[in-house]
């Protein structure tokens, strides 16, 4: 997206005098871009014309340089109002007319300055701190009585996504969902992204983390080895899951089964249905997943690799959970907060085989983060898109096949 933008208006005999052409040329020559939002051409020779131009630049400095260069040619910044603020009436309650966010980059005008809203995600409110001039997207549950909350629609602008420079499957950021579309090029593009993100992350760049949100089908369908390899090789930096993925992953390590189904036997083993309960109980006895790995009780698999590689894991619980495992956050508002805290720095999100975690994570992601939603059930990527995560690329395929194919793209020999 453009870091800075301003709408300017140009009036008069701007067409035949080439003033409009000169202003547009100046914007481009200085390294900015423009969107000609409106051009009303005078119907007679004496009647003036009018143009509204959205000027975009990579930095506020470049924008102000451009504005300074075009103002002598008559381009004047369109008069815009500051956003309206109203104090929150109580903890956890927004004022009646609060502005509800989208997950697109958003700016508000405070004291004549356009300020980028931090931590943008959909369906939040915007809280301003006038002293620091910082503005933050804030969940309803986190607003405090008296916080100045942006209300109405004036002085707020949502910045459309600009096409990224890389020409890959994410260039169009659209969620077409179809089981009939070939997957090969999408998987190849995901692999390329992960490769370059790993390099960036290793060299300490921000915004280069890969987030995987996964359900237990990753284990049942046989994607465990591939995901473990991806974690071991440093391709995954954040994992969102529930009790089940962690439990079945460790069950597989302890018993060689997933929900009692033997991986090598290929059938339900006697008393197998108890394995995940015994696994959960064992880890609860030890006190934590970390300690279970460090003491050598859990030797391999997704959770073991996460512990060894220092992957940031957030486990969010549900009503049907057994146990749950230590570390599973059972307060859903607290879980949402923990997931939200792990989003900054993410540059790619893979939502694999989990309706619950895919939609929950999709809601937290700004539209600027390339996202892939993989599920055998086309309803999941469709649901994600319907809830507003239009940037997610939908892939209708088996979770294990996806993880294996991506891992193979990156050099996995399994």
Task: Establish if 40 lies at the interface with another protein (CB under 8 A).
Answer: no
Which of 3, 22, 39, 136 lies at the binding interface for another protein (CB under 8 A)? 22
Task: Establish if 134 lies at the interface with another protein (CB under 8 A).
Answer: no
Choice between 20 and 329, CB closer to another protein: 20
Name the pairing type of β-strands 156-158 and 148-151: unpaired
Choice between 17 and 113, CB closer to another protein: 17
- Spell out the residues 6+ positions from residue 302 whose beta carbon is closer than 8 angstroms to its own: 218, 219, 224, 227, 228, 231, 239, 245, 246, 249
* Token representation of residue 257: 């089964």
Q: How far apart are CA 207 and CA 198, in angstroms?
A: 11
In whole angstroms, the minimum distance from the beta carbon of 77 to another protein comes to 13
Task: Establish if 69 lies at the interface with another protein (CB under 8 A).
Answer: no
Task: Establish if 52 lies at the interface with another protein (CB under 8 A).
Answer: no
In whole angstroms, the minimum distance from the beta carbon of 50 to another protein comes to 9
Task: Establish if 139 lies at the interface with another protein (CB under 8 A).
Answer: no
Residue 333: half-sphere exposure toward Cβ, Cα within 13 Å: 5
| Rounded (10°) CA dihedral 142, 148, 152, 158 | -70
Task: Establish if 19 lies at the interface with another protein (CB under 8 A).
Answer: yes
Asked whether 389 and 175 are in contact (CB, 8 A), the reply is yes
Using DSSP, how many helices (H) and how many strands (E) does the chain show?
13, 20
Q: How far apart are CA 2 and CA 205, in angstroms?
A: 20
**Percent helix, strand and coil across the chain, each to the nearest 5:** 35, 25, 40
Which residues make beta-bridge pairs with 158?
106
Per-residue contact track with another protein, 75 to 94, x per CB under 8 A? Answer: -x------------------
Task: Establish if 295 lies at the interface with another protein (CB under 8 A).
Answer: no
The H or E element that residue 11 is part of is strand 4-12
Q: How far apart are CA 350 and CA 399, in angstroms?
A: 11
In whole angstroms, the minimum distance from the beta carbon of 45 to another protein comes to 5
Stretch that binds another protein, among 17-25, 228-236, 306-314, 357-365 (CB under 8 A): 17-25
Stretch that binds another protein, among 72-80, 84-92, 222-230, 313-321 (CB under 8 A): 72-80
Choice between 39 and 93, CB closer to another protein: 39
Stretch that binds another protein, among 70-78, 217-225, 278-286, 393-401 (CB under 8 A): 70-78
Which of 16, 322, 331, 386 lies at the binding interface for another protein (CB under 8 A)? 16
Which of 1, 3, 7, 13 lies at the binding interface for another protein (CB under 8 A)? 13
* Token representation of residue 221: 């369908």
Name the pairing type of β-strands 49-57 and 106-110: unpaired
Choice between 46 and 264, CB closer to another protein: 46
Candidates 342, 351, 344, 335; CA nearest to 392 is: 351
Which of 17, 64, 130, 377 lies at the binding interface for another protein (CB under 8 A)? 17
In whole angstroms, the minimum distance from the beta carbon of 341 to another protein comes to 50
- Give the Cβ contact number of residue 176 at 10 Å: 10
Asked whether 197 and 223 are in contact (CB, 8 A), the reply is no
Stretch that binds another protein, among 67-75, 177-185, 227-235, 358-366 (CB under 8 A): 67-75
Choice between 75 and 315, CB closer to another protein: 75
Contacts with another protein by CB under 8 A lie at 11-13, 16-19, 21-22, 45-46, 48, 72-74, 76
């Amino acid at each position: 997206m453009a870091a800075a933008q301003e709408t300017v208006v140009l009036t008069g005999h701007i067409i035949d005098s080439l003033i409009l052409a000169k202003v547009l040329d100046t914007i481009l020559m200085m390294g900015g871009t423009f969107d000609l939002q409106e051009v009303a051409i005078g119907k007679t020779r004496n009647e003036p014309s009018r143009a509204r131009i959205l000027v975009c630049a990579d930095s506020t400095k470049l924008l102000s340089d451009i504005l300074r260069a075009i103002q002598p040619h008559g381009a004047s910044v369109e008069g815009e109002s500051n956003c309206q603020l109203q104090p929150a009436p109580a903890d956890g309650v927004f004022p009646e007319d609060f502005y509800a966010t989208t997950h697109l980059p958003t700016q508000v005008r405070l004291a004549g300055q356009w300020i980028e809203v931090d931590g943008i995600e959909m369906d939040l409110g915007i809280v301003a701190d006038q002293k620091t001039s910082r503005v933050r997207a804030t969940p309803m549950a986190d607003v405090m009585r008296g916080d100045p909350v942006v209300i109405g629609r004036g002085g707020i602008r949502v910045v459309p996504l600009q096409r990224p420079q890389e020409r890959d499957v994410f260039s169009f950021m659209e969620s077409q969902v179809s089981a009939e579309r070939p997957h090969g090029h999408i998987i190849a593009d995901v692999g390329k992204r992960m490769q370059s993100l790993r390099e960036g992350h290793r060299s300490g760049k921000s915004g280069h983390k890969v987030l995987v949100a996964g359900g237990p089908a990753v284990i049942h369908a046989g994607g465990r080895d591939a995901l473990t390899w991806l974690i071991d090789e440093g391709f995954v930096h954040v994992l969102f899951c529930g009790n089940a993925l962690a439990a079945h992953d460790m069950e597989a390590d302890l018993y060689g089964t997933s929900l009692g189904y033997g991986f090598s036997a290929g059938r339900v083993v006697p008393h197998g249905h108890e394995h995940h309960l015994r696994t959960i109980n064992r880890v609860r006895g030890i006190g934590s997943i970390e300690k279970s790995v460090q003491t050598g009780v859990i030797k391999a698999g997704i959770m073991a690799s996460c512990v060894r590689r220092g992957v940031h894991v957030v486990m969010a619980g549900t009503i049907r959970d057994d146990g749950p495992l230590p570390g599973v956050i059972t307060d859903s508002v607290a879980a949402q907060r923990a997931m939200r805290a792990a989003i900054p720095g993410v540059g790619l999100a893979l939502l694999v085989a989990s309706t619950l975690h895919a939609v929950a994570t999709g809601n937290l992601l700004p539209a600027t983060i390339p996202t892939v939603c993989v599920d055998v059930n086309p309803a999941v990527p469709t649901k994600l898109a319907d809830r507003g995560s239009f940037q997610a690329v939908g892939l209708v395929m088996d979770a294990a096949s996806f993880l294996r194919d991506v891992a193979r793209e990156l050099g996995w020999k399994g």
